[in-house]
A and B are shown apart, each in its own frame.
Chain A
Amino acid sequence: MILKRRTFGALAAAAAMSSMLVAGAGHAQQSGGTMVMVTVPEPPNLANYLSTSGPIGQVSTKVYEGLINLGWDFEIQPSLAKSWEVSEDGLSITFNLQEGVTFHNGTPFTSADVQYSIMEVLREIHPRNAATMRPITAVETPDPMTAIFRLSEPAPYLMVALNAYESPIVSKALFEGTDPRDNPSANAPVGTGPFTFVEWEKGQYVRLDKNENYWREGQPYLDRIVVRFIADASTRTAAMEAGELHYAAFGAIPNIDVPRLAAMDEIDMSTKGYEYFAPMTQLQFNTTRAPFDNPDVRRALATAMDRQFVIDNIWYGFGKAATGPISSNFAAAGIYTDDVPSYAADDRIATANAMLDEAGVPRGADGIRFKITHDMTPYGEEWRRFGEYTKQVLAELGIEADLRYEDVGTWLKRVYTDYDYDLSSNWLFGLPDPVLGVHRQYHSNQIRQGTVFVNGTQWSSPETDALMDQATTETDPEARAVQYAEFQQRVVEASPIIFMQELEFVTVYSTKLQNAITGPMGVYNSFADMWLEQ
């Protein structure tokens, strides 16, 4: 046994040396190997044309492709579309499609599939695309390799949404004549991507094998991807530690365990690859209820919250204090500004108490100003801790908060249908354009009773509505930046939401894995160019 191990060690060393030599000569990718990743929780299905649920996308983006990919700075890169051209007036986009692409079941990919996927599937049943693709009036198919989008108004935010996670292209032949919500491929996806779906052992794993006919020459490098489902967090950490897993993203490894794992020679970690989502945590007020209908009270609470304490002790150091409704991820695109009213204070509690006194909510004889119920986002441990922290901060302000923790369905109904809440924690994706991820929380036309993750605070103002409307169709980046700067200032000043932190997720991966994170979509990339050092 020992001998064998030594031999193995020697071989491994030789292999490592040779690969280093090769790498020195320009990163020659090695083909082969099985990459094991873990996804939490197990997805309910694999239909990302039907649901934006994260775990679904982690698996199905290896099987489906979109028209485009995104580069690190959200630059649009070719995928199923080889090239494209936007007309002067912004009202039509012509896509030239890749030739020689086939779906995993053998049918060739043509513009008819694009037309069907956009008009019949994504525009109809996809939760976000129903809004994003609303301006698309038609997709014309002059020939099998050309698709022309006709728009009712310019939509500068549309291109980024055409990626594999948000807008997968499905096979028309497989879907036509069926209800897309009820297609069998929801559990056995058939796409054009680098990996083909093989099997799904429920509760255990999904197996994806290399697509031998993939259209990108030489890719994918991996022979197989196994996506494992491990419910218990400590078991996942232990599996990562033992080298049973190569890749764990989106909080699959608890933040508290990350530093210990990352200190190991075989494991690396990164917080990159989540820029697309720009997730942000928040406390949102029901601005129709007293006393939170008073912006002075809301501002006082925004002052009292110590964002850095929350980041350090609840999210164990991963995160960045938020300044307003738009994530600092958008700094590169020029539409983020930190020139907004600041709620920083040296003594947060004393300042906030003084603000509350001035706002006309004095303490009663028992030291209590008023009582509220604080709803906690029912997404697990951190949110419980955040709720407990918030309650203590409020107690120091003389606000007695009763904590409530319900199941996801009841909580969503309470916040977005019944509006029966005072203060709730929450987190939403900012997505790669404010039109997609930010407007929904502030525009008056997004007070849509019964639709989740829209304007649940019910706050809006004519000024901010107008700014958002302008920015939606504004094609000049500089003018857009000015509009969004004013938008951010006005929202932060009204403070319908306490902006807590830009959530940082961690990807933990084996050092043997190359090209582990290749863009702002991280785990939602296709992994066609990922390879494993043998």
Chain B
Amino acid sequence: MTHTAPITPDRNTPNPEPTAIARIVSFWKLFMRNRSAVVGLVILVCVISLAILAPLIYPTDPFRMVGRPMSPPLDGYLFGTDTLGRDIMAGIAHGARTSLMIGLIATIVALGIGGLIGGLAGYYGGWIDEILMRVTEVFQTIPSFIFAILLVAVLTPSIENIIIAIAVVSWPALARLVRGEVMSMRNREFVQANVVMGMADWRILLLQVLPNCLSPIIVAASLLVATAILIESGLAFLGLGDPNVMSWGFQVGAGRSVLRQAWWICTFPGIAIMLTVLAINLVGEGLNDALNPRLREREQ
């Protein structure tokens, strides 16, 4: 954020432009005000640490058959073993990497597509907007999970294809959000000024307009990570995960048929999915409060 564009050009506050550090401090204060967001952040940090440490704690392949099949929890292994004798905790640790990685990358890709299409549509308007939005609507009319299943089934299950599928079903909502934000900026004076100065369209869009509508996009993207993790788990549960990659959804799906004999196989990965998605949602809420403080004040 080193560029010169005004971050909040419509605020008629007398204060001079706050420094970067001051802004971060105020953001943090606002974020900390939301207790549940802090709880979410703590859980998320734990999950991220688990993902980072997984190769150190469980250096072998999580698919490796290490113990007696279907050992109950604490019988040699913290969360027990599955039907082939694979350590469930090792699977959860490695699954955390998969879930977070897919969640993040799919969101970034979706953000790229949605940002581009929404930005162009919002900035240029007119027939470009018409065409891009009709295309977006076509994607929005297809139920996203069914569409994702279809894509993965056609492309064959692999990490790359799962990321593509999740990104393809997730970008339309972001495109519409970005378009709305860009439209509201499009006719602001600082943008007009840039146009008059002869700045190229792409520079105005990228350097002037987008940075000013970042906050709602960040909030939406953070929630998208949670959705992406859920879609990935759902796909893996249905057997459409990458067969070479450990994933929480895979663990739940593989243990489902023995739920009555070995409850722990599905339960612990299921809890991992629930906690992670919950944590990301809470953090997203907190970001929303911190980035749009006046929205929160108005609500109160």
Contact = CB atoms under 8 A, between A and B. Distances in A.
Contact of B243 (A234, A312, A389, A403): A403
A392 B65 CA distance: 7
Contacts of B69: 312-313
A143 interface: no
Contacts of B256: 234
Contacts of B157: 405
Contacts of A376: 243
Nearest to A237: B260
A384 B239 contact: yes
Interface string A397-429: 000001111110010000000000000000000
Given A406-B156, A407-B153, A384 B243 contact: yes
Contact of B254 (A254, A384, A407): A384
Interface string B228-255: 0000000000010001100000000010
Interface in B55-99: 61, 63-65, 69, 83-85
B108 interface: no
A242 B260 CA distance: 16
A233 B260 CA distance: 13
Contacts of A403: 243-244
Interface string A250-269: 00001011001000000000
Nearest to B250: A384
B243 A313 contact: no
A381 B84 contact: no
A349 to B, nearest CB: 12
Interface residues of A, number: 27
Contact of A404 (B64, B85, B156): B156
Interface SS majority for chain A: helix
Given A392-B61, A406-B156, A313 B83 contact: yes
A256 B254 CA distance: 13
A402 B254 CA distance: 19
Interface string B259-300: 111000000000000000000000000000000000000000
B258 interface: yes
B85 A260 contact: no
Nearest to B256: A234
B257 interface: yes
A392 B66 CA distance: 10
Nearest to B65: A392
Nearest to B242: A403
A314 interface: yes
A415 to B, nearest CB: 15
Given A260-B260, A391-B63, A405 B239 contact: yes
A254 B257 contact: yes
Contacts of B261: 256
B63 A392 contact: yes
Contacts of A490: none
A-B pairs with the 6 shortest C-beta distances? A403-B243, A313-B69, A405-B243, A403-B244, A256-B258, A388-B63
